[in-house]
Amino acid sequence: MIISFRSKELRDDAINEVLGTQSLSPRIFNWLKAILTSLNAASNINDLPSAIRNRFKFHNENIVLVGYYNLDLHFKTAHLNTPTANDGTIDWQKVYRLQLIRIGEIHVG
């Protein structure tokens, strides 16, 4: 998948070790780097290892990876034309572009 970031600051926190470990603990930074590497290697959500795939929750127009180290990763599609199913919902199996919009402690139930 192709991963983009909502802001330069979020990108720096996620991929720059010096800047990332200033705002995140080294353990969380390494976890985030591993998750982003897995997402980048997969062609879509279904290609992810089940340990990651099973932690995704769909929330409105977003998808949230919940519960690692008490943090959630909030993503939205980054397609110009988001793939949709017949019922108008996002067809996540066809989504191959995600944008990380938030790293936070707000949990989706």
Q: In this predicted model, what pLDDT tens digit does every residue of 58-93 receive, in sequence order?
A: 877 888 888 777 788 999 999 999 999 899 888 888
Domain ranges for the chain: 2-104
Q: What are the tens digits of pLDDT across the range 91-106?
A: 888 999 999 999 886 6
pLDDT the model gives residue 96: 94
Compute the distance between CA of residue 102 and CA of residue 85 in angstroms, rounded to an integer: 26
15-69 tens-digit pLDDT? 888 888 888 888 888 888 889 999 999 999 999 999 888 988 887 788 888 877 7
Instruction: Provide the token pair at 16.
Output: 């720059």
Q: How many CB atoms lie within 10 A of CB 70?
A: 9
Can you give the pTM of this predicted structure?
A: 0.85
* Cβ proximity of 74 and 3 under 8 Å: no
Which segments of 1-109 are extended strands (E)? 2-5, 56-59, 62-68, 71-77, 97-104
Region 2-104: CATH code: 3.30.2310
